[in-house]
Amino acid sequence: MSAKKSTKTTTKKSTKSKGYDASSISVLEGLDPVRKRPGMYIGTTGLEGLHHMIWEIFDNARDEAMGGFANRVEVTLLPDNYIRVVDNGRGIPVDIHKQTKVSALETIMCTLHAGGKFGGDESGYKVSGGLHGVGVSVVNALSTHTRVDVHKDGFQYMQEYNIGVAKAKVKKLGKTKFQGSIVNFQADPTIFPVIEYDWKKIVTHLRQQAYLVKEMHLTVVDARESEVKLDTKTLESEVYIADMKLEVPKMTFYFEGGLRSLVAFNNQHQKPVHKNIFYVEKTDIDENVLAVEVSLQYVDDISARISAFANNIYNPEHGTHITGFKTALTRTLNNYGKKNNLIKEKDGAFTGEDVLEGITAVVSVKMPEIQFEGQTKGKLGSVEARGAVESVFGEAFNMFLEENPDDAKAIINKVAIAVRARKAAKAAKDSVLRKGALEGMSLPGKLADCQSKSAADSELFIVEGDSAGGSAKMGRNRKTQAILPLRGKILNVERARIDKMLASEQIKNLVIALGTAIGDVFDVSKLRYHKIIIATDADVDGAHIRTLLLTLFFRYFRQLIDEGYLYIAQPPLYKIQKGKEIWYAYTDQEKFEIVGEEDPAAVVEEGEESEEETETEDEADTIAKKSKYRVQRYKGLGEMNAEELGETTMDPEHRVLKLVTIEDAQEADKVFDILMGTDVPSRKSFIQSNAQHANLDI
């Protein structure tokens, strides 16, 4: 993979732009509901929804590139929380729309379901990521200020809006040599409680999009700390801020390899099983499916990594295109293996689970009429996609296997190992479940269970060490809180199969305690506790144990994270006492706020005592002692007595719990690969690059 920096702006000419004017814009209804129920349109008003605003505007620019009308797109973070998205496409139409009697630009920006995505003629989009045509108008409605500049047919036009309402009619500013659209918006703080754009998140998302649109120059710029102003003449003299000589973070992406390059990028920290990356792209399949693109490569791992896209929209919940892909993959490998006597009779036919082990795949479809499940487009519902992917991929993958016998043999051998591992894992799982049944579903001896039989009311504390486990058992609420102590560090499951995992007594105890079973028999409805709380020491060893547990839950109990059942306890770092008053501080900042600007002589760290305190214990010294802050630094949970642990870490009225969430599953998967896998150079590089962000307990 390589990212080539573009230094020259070019406008891509296309005969397809003919006739793109106001008549290409269809209108369905008004804009009123957006501010009342923003979550219906962007999913959430949290940080995910905030970034979704960028994706909505970017998708329009990307659609211009995907349709062949543009070859350059730029996204810029500006001062005062403005976002700018630029493309060198045809420019949004500005002539009067017959239905609305205002300009097409104002119609698009201020009306729901208005855009060039409904008309079936060549002037609109054949393929578009925007399904409902609500994106740009929703962003406009949820922004305090929006400004759109259009460079079209030799002239520059501009219109501004406040919370979705046009301030004035479209202004014609003068002549221009450029072609394209520039959208600037400022998210409304009354809608979004926190407006903090994540540079890494934005770059990761847009890099992925660059892979999906071949030969599109995509630039991302962080100019938040620059002196760039929104209303300067920059738009006339330099359409792209990236062309300016600014000392700001900037990244440019340009890929010719498409999904093949994306698979190579995703596997950069993995060991490939076969040399050649499979790739197929077929266009103009039929009237329902315009293109299918698939790439894959197997690696020496046990996880499956499949990315799904429909009209370049990422589908984390997959959908019909992935169903077609899996069906063709299983059938093709079985047919090839049997035909070439590569499948042993004792192993039997490959299952869908077997063929997915260790695969990295990207599947993309493009359709003129597309159906998603929900506005956030998490899952593709178009039934036509299944048959198209199954046919195109199945035929091409069979040809790949025939033409690359060494790669084919390596893949078949990889899947055969998965078959044998599946059978061994099933025996191990059956053993655990059978043992539980024979013992009357008896729970592990180490587990101090709670009295409640209601999962919704029950909590499981996974505690580091027998010492902390003893304190936790005495300090808990026996009715609702269960304690499972761990002895030392559990097995690193990143590359361990279930049979090896269940040979570990500690992991087996945890599986039985949870009650959900594991693997293909996992059943979240049987979860015995709706709060699973990891409680480890606030030191390096505690952090390592916590990471091992998070790896286990991410790889084998992902649904527990997705449904909000997994938490991390945050025990206090300090106990501060002055006379009879006691405070607990969970951070150094809290400690400072309690102790304040006291003279250092008035603060006694545990183990420190002034000379007069050690020499005598008369009444005067006792009074002096009580006037000082005495600070105890907790190195581990075991240092707390039952009362302290219960009050600070277990009592719902006082404790601090952190909910474990996964904002970006692909990025999380990659980080676990690096930190817990076998690629030592990548792990070393990651640690060196991120060391400045670490909170070390030294």
Active site amino acids: 464, 537, 539, 541
Q: Which of 307, 297, 308 is nearest to 268 (CA)?
A: 297
How far is 225 from 80, CA to CA, in rounded Å?
10
How far is 220 from 241, CA to CA, in rounded Å?
10
**Pair type for strands 531-535 and 459-464:** parallel
How far is 681 from 284, CA to CA, in rounded Å?
44
Q: Which of 547, 582, 568, 541 is nearest to 655 (CA)?
A: 568
DSSP E strands: which ranges in 82-175?
Answer: 82-87, 114-115, 143-152, 155-162, 165-166, 171-175
Stated as kind and residue range, the H or E segment containing 385 is helix 384-403
Burial 556-591 (b: 16+ CB within 10 A, else e): bbeebbeeebbbbbbbbbbbbebeeeebbbbeeebb
- Residue 615 CB neighbour total at 10 angstroms: 10
Angle at the Cα of 252 from the Cα atoms of 1 and 199, rounded to 5 degrees = 105
How far is 508 from 501, CA to CA, in rounded Å?
7
Q: Which two tokens stand for residue 431?
A: 């053993």
Residues 486, 506 contacting (CB under 8 angstroms):
yes
Distance set, CA 335 to CA 223, 274, 331, 345, 394 (Å): 55, 19, 6, 14, 11
Residues 385, 321 contacting (CB under 8 angstroms):
yes
Please list the residues that pair with 567 across neighbouring strands: 533, 659
Cβ contacts of residue 683 below 8 Å, gap of 6+?
674, 675, 677
Q: Which two tokens stand for residue 211?
A: 């892979």
Alpha carbon 297 to its chain's center:
22
Burial 350-389 (b: 16+ CB within 10 A, else e): beeebbbbbbbbbbbbbbbebbbeebbbbbbebebbbbbb
Q: Which two tokens stand for residue 312?
A: 């370049």
Alpha carbon 675 to its chain's center:
17
Q: Which two tokens stand for residue 217?
A: 């120059």
Q: Which two tokens stand for residue 45?
A: 């008003």
Distance set, CA 361 to CA 180, 207, 236, 266, 352 (Å): 34, 17, 43, 9, 14
- Residue 203 CB neighbour total at 10 angstroms: 16
Residues 197, 51 contacting (CB under 8 angstroms):
yes
